[in-house]
Amino acid sequence: SQQGEEDPQALSIQEGENATMNCSYKTSINNLQWYRQNSGRGLVHLILIRSNEREKHSGRLRVTLDTSKKSSSLLITASRAADTASYFCATDPRTGAGSYQLTFGKGTKLSVIP
């Protein structure tokens, strides 16, 4: 089953607005990562937040993590047309044997209208 589930599935906003995407997961994690994928391309890492962190910033990106609710959010401020892409959260489930795989959600498709 999917470890991470993004919400909403699709989001359309005007350029300059903020975009917020949410991710929920099921098991304890070591870290949570957000990736971006432009149509027909590979994934690009955006930001990683560890389980003992609550908030992290990187440029126009702000990520929060609430381990008690098993959820994370990605905020993109002052969006640009170039931000149009699919955004995925990926979790690294914590297991006793060590974790070897990231588990991805289905993604949020963001459209930023110029």
Partner 1 sequence: NAGVMQNPRHLVRRRGQEARLRCSPMKGHSHVYWYRQLPEEGLKFMVYLQKENIIDESGMPKERFSAEFPKEGPSILRIQQVVRGDSAAYFCASSPNRVDTGELFFGEGSRLTVL
Shortest reach from residue 104's CB to partner 1, in Å: 4
Measured from the CB of residue 81, what is the shortest distance to partner 1 in angstroms?
22
The span from the CA of 94 to the CA of 3, in Å, is 12
Site for partner 1 in 4-43 (CB under 8 A): 4, 30-31, 33, 35, 41-43
* C-beta of 6 vs 83, nearer to partner 1: 6
Kindly tell me which residue out of 21, 32, 83, 105 binds partner 1, with binding defined by CB under 8 A. Answer: 105
Number of chain residues interacting with partner 1 (CB under 8 A): 25
**What are the tokens at 86?**
């699919």
3-state SS record for the chain: CCCEEEECCEEEEECCCCEEEEEEECCCEEEEEEEEECCCCCEEEEEEEECCCCEEEECCEEEEEECCCCEEEEEECCCCHHHCEEEEEEEEECCCCCCCCCEECCCEEEEEEC
Contacts of partner 1 in 42-101 (CB under 8 A): 42-45, 48, 88, 92, 94, 98-101
Which residue, 27 or 101, is less far from partner 1 as judged by CB? 101
Give contact residues for partner 1 (rule: CB under 8 A): 2, 4, 30-31, 33, 35, 41-45, 48, 88, 92, 94, 98-107
